[in-house]
Structure 1
Amino acid sequence: MFESLSDRLSGSLRSITGKARLTEENISDTLREVRMALLEADVALPVVKDFVSSVKQRAVGQEVMSSLSPGQAFIKIVQSELEAIMGSSNEQLNLATNPPAVIMMAGLQGAGKTTTVAKLARLLKERDKKKVTVVSADVYRPAAIKQLETLASEVGVDFFPSAVDQAPEAIVNAALSHAKIQFSDVLIVDTAGRLAIDEEMMGEIARLHAAVKPVETLFVVDAMTGQDAANTAKAFDETLPLTGIVLTKVDADTRGGAALSVRSITGKPIKFLGVGEKTAALDPFHPDRMASRILGMGDVLSLIEEVEQKVDKKKAAKLARKVKKGKKFDLEDFRDQLQQMNNMGGITGMLDKLPGMGKMSQMAEQNLDMKMFARMEAMIGSMTPRERRNPELIQGSRKRRITRGSGTEVQDLNRLLKQHKQMQKMMKKMKGGGMEKMMRGLGGMMPPGGPGAMPPR
């Protein structure tokens, strides 16, 4: 996420970090590089100008001059100003109304609205314990209605059916009555993708908004369109009173122009980030954490929250008891660990949030076969319960049967068994607890030679 911007900014600021004394000259030199980094990241020019001006004003003032470590104080100012242009804090959904609270999703075609509806429904259901109903008012694309029905079933929320021969207002009014009968807390309305220049379509969504009076109107926009995302959101806001922005495809956006421009240009907060294709890949937006990640300082708070929300605590506690008693760590336990890591966004998603690990995350992505974990799960799934509990049984013909059943090669299975053995040794060292034992054991998790020696794709 935002790798190119993060690399450029980190490089620009590195030279000033250790300075014992900051002058107007070296501040100007650094800010010139920062300005170029932001423009290359497709941040809107007015936003860049305001940002550089604010940093310079604070940096050449008393704030840095009186600091014991001026270089560090300068970085702190840059971080603080990055937070300011993205919004001072996380702004949550305002659902304080008589249920059901209506959330309307608007946006361009192909921005990922329907998927975002399912992601938001899952988040509200799992995190906030809300009962959610979803409905599609996209009468121009029958596939969108079917897609939402499939996704609603996947995330386990109530779906209200609609048809292309119905009027959007009639669909939503019927869905609202249904949601009341179902005692739903929230009704999320998916609307048809449209162009800001299409007056007829914009008029339709304005009428729909007036009819249902949603408490939240979220504009879903592709982060990879850069500052155009902010300009499009502004055009929509002139027709529709938006309450917030959802940036999608943020995980694929190396630049970061949308995240840094949209708040300043629209005046509307970014409320969520879409960070992948899975229905769990929607994160609340925290400007302070994003500023920290952009500057290569990691995002440990988000990682802790992910662990809290996505790790199966029962399985984790069961494994902890097993390890403490010195019982054997088998392939079923290994599969559970792979699934837990996958829920956390995989190894690159976890590394990306750790301070100073941005480069390691990129290196892992380049050198690690990202399909390797899926193959590992497939191989373990092809084993009998007895084989999973007793990996030493897996020899000769058993190996051939397992690899045929999982569509893999014998060398893949040998690698899996070797890595499981390393994990088993690590778990033995952890018997009885002890952080030192755990840290020593972690060496076995990485391939020999460190991350650069990971198996090639």
Structure 2
Amino acid sequence: MIFEGLAEKLQNTFDKLKGKGKLSEDDVKSALREVKLALLEADVNFKVVKNFIKRLEERAVGEEVLESLTPAQQVIKIVNEELTDLMGGTQSKLTLGSRTPAVVMLVGLQGAGKTTTVGKLAKHLHGQGRSPQLVAADVYRPAAIKQLQVLGERLEQPVFSMGDKQDPVDIAKAAVSNAESEGRDVTLIDTAGRLHIDEELMDELKGIKKAVKPQEILLVVDAMTGQDAVNVAEKFDEALGIDGVILTKLDGDARGGAALSISSVTGKPIKFVGTGEKLDNLEEFHPDRMASRILGMGDVLSLIEKAEESIDAQKAKELEEKLRKEEFTLEDFQEQMGQIRSMGPLDQIMEMLPGMGNLKQLKGMDMNEGHLDQIEAIINSMTIEERRDPQIINGSRRRRIAEGSGTKVQDVNRLLKQFKQTKKMMKQLGDMQKKGMGGALKDRLPFF
């Protein structure tokens, strides 16, 4: 899970503050020391941490906080605001301008995921009504051109290539001309990378920049490299002048140091984050939403956006009626699980729900995809009557279901327990909505 270690430590620290009620200056300073250690363990740049804690202390030990009725909540509010500022403050969108085609260069080191990110960005832009052209300007890495062509076929978007014998600058210029003649309004240039930054690489990138004058130069960096990603960003910006950053493999970075450091160190915004291997696993980066996730406050807006893309609204309304009448069955559970899975990895979805970022409320529930496949096999091995009324599933039925699904009786027992937990969780979400916490969700996600 993204920021898993940091999120858990920060949430534990603030739980201690909440338990104290009235806070002293020493209480706040002790909590900030824990915050500092948590950030350093998350591989956040030392200077960034030092300045961050200094700002927190200036704000959090003031009379306004210590004399307030809910000082712990005030401290959390301040940390949330400062985390948001640390990651750039506000969302920074692509600036494509009015020129057609708009030209976007993707640059970075080898292995950061540039070529795949070109495909993801093409899918994202196409979903916004754009007509992108992908450009294979990496003539050095074996199979780079073929990889981009395969992505283009999957996306049904054109890929411009002149083979691996041409100069990348000439390829970029020809690609822009081709996009003009073909009526494509965005040109995404996949440039070559190296194992490390060198003069030859930068000269080539500068040549492409001079030839096609891109509206955006986006640096693609691997979030899992931590502070190395920050150093790479600094060097690319100094040599080339980047407009923003795309952090890849954020789903595999439990620490999150790069995401928390890179904007502060370089002054350049994170524009997108890669959260998985699929072509739709690219998210616009919202500093405020990410700060809320880290602090266990959820990210309801992103959840709504994902749901709007993936959830069948009519089926959601039907499910809401069933929940109201307490007719929610294992058939509904299976269908709902399929719709939620279409929104992305379940652990990432759950961390968008307020108070559930560390999954503590789902003790015993396995969040990996293999386990969800197992659940589906078990439900498919039940009769229609069993799916609609799980209470009739006695010992002999459980043994038959286990045998039919290639699982164990314990697995069937676990599923039935999880089904009860899910019903309980959905009731809690419904209660949140009644209290005014889920109004926006209610309008968009009626199944809650």
Same fold per superposition (TM over 0.5): yes
Question: What is the Cα deviation at residue 257 of structure 1?
Answer: 0.6
Mapping 1:399-438, distance limit 5 Å: 409=406
In structure 2, the partner of 1:239 is 239
Q: Is the 8 A contact 1:352 1:361 kept in 2?
A: no
**Cα distance change of structure 1 residues 320 and 77 upon mapping to structure 2, 3 Å threshold:** closer
Q: Is the 8 A contact 2:296 2:351 kept in 1?
A: no
User: TM-score, length-normalised on structure 2?
Assistant: 0.81
Counterpart residue identity of residue 348, structure 1: D
**Cα distance change of structure 1 residues 118 and 339 upon mapping to structure 2, 3 Å threshold:** farther
Distance in 1, matches of 2:47 and 2:126, equals 39
Which secondary structure state, in structure 2, belongs to the residue aligned with residue 359 of structure 1? coil
Distance in 1, matches of 2:135 and 2:249, equals 23
2:346 is the counterpart of 1:347 = yes
Counterpart residue identity of residue 34, structure 1: V
Gaps of 5+ in 2: 389-399, 435-448
2:307 is the counterpart of 1:310 = no
Q: Is the 8 A contact 1:142 1:163 kept in 2?
A: no
Which secondary structure state, in structure 2, belongs to the residue aligned with residue 242 of structure 1? coil
In structure 1, the partner of 2:442 is none
In structure 2, the partner of 1:118 is 119
Q: Is the 8 A contact 2:87 2:260 kept in 1?
A: yes
- 1:219-259 Cα offsets, whole Å, 9 max, x none, are 11111111221111001111111110111111111111101
Distance in 2, matches of 1:361 and 1:183, equals 51
In structure 2, the partner of 1:296 is 296
**Cα distance change of structure 1 residues 84 and 324 upon mapping to structure 2, 3 Å threshold:** closer
Which secondary structure state, in structure 1, belongs to the residue aligned with residue 369 of structure 2? coil
- 1:99-158 Cα offsets, whole Å, 9 max, x none, are 1111111111111111111111111111x1111111111100241111111112222322
Mapping 1:363-402, distance limit 5 Å: 367-368=366-367, 370-374=369-373
- 1:173-199 Cα offsets, whole Å, 9 max, x none, are 222122112211211111112245311
- 1:316-356 Cα offsets, whole Å, 9 max, x none, are 5687899999999897x877544422221143222121112
In structure 1, the partner of 2:355 is 356
In structure 2, the partner of 1:53 is 54
**Cα distance change of structure 1 residues 368 and 204 upon mapping to structure 2, 3 Å threshold:** closer
Q: Is the 8 A contact 2:330 2:379 kept in 1?
A: no
In structure 2, the partner of 1:263 is 263
Question: What is the Cα deviation at residue 372 of structure 1?
Answer: 3.6
Q: Percent identity?
A: 47
Q: Is the 8 A contact 2:329 2:387 kept in 1?
A: no
In structure 1, the partner of 2:230 is 230
Distance in 1, matches of 2:137 and 2:197, equals 20
Distance in 2, matches of 1:255 and 1:247, equals 14
Q: Is the 8 A contact 2:346 2:367 kept in 1?
A: no
In structure 2, the partner of 1:171 is 171
Which secondary structure state, in structure 2, belongs to the residue aligned with residue 345 of structure 1? coil
In structure 2, the partner of 1:100 is 101
Mapping 1:15-94, distance limit 5 Å: 15-94=16-95
Question: What is the Cα deviation at residue 27 of structure 1?
Answer: 2.0
**Cα distance change of structure 1 residues 176 and 374 upon mapping to structure 2, 3 Å threshold:** farther
Mapping 1:125-140, distance limit 5 Å: 125-126=126-127, 128-140=128-140
Which secondary structure state, in structure 2, belongs to the residue aligned with residue 302 of structure 1? helix
Gaps of 5+ in 1: 393-398, 440-457
Q: Is the 8 A contact 1:134 1:158 kept in 2?
A: yes
Distance in 2, matches of 1:131 and 1:361, equals 43
Distance in 1, matches of 2:245 and 2:312, equals 31
Distance in 2, matches of 1:72 and 1:217, equals 40
Distance in 2, matches of 1:28 and 1:34, equals 10
Distance in 2, matches of 1:113 and 1:362, equals 37
Counterpart residue identity of residue 224, structure 2: M
Mapping 1:273-292, distance limit 5 Å: 273-292=273-292
Distance in 2, matches of 1:379 and 1:133, equals 45
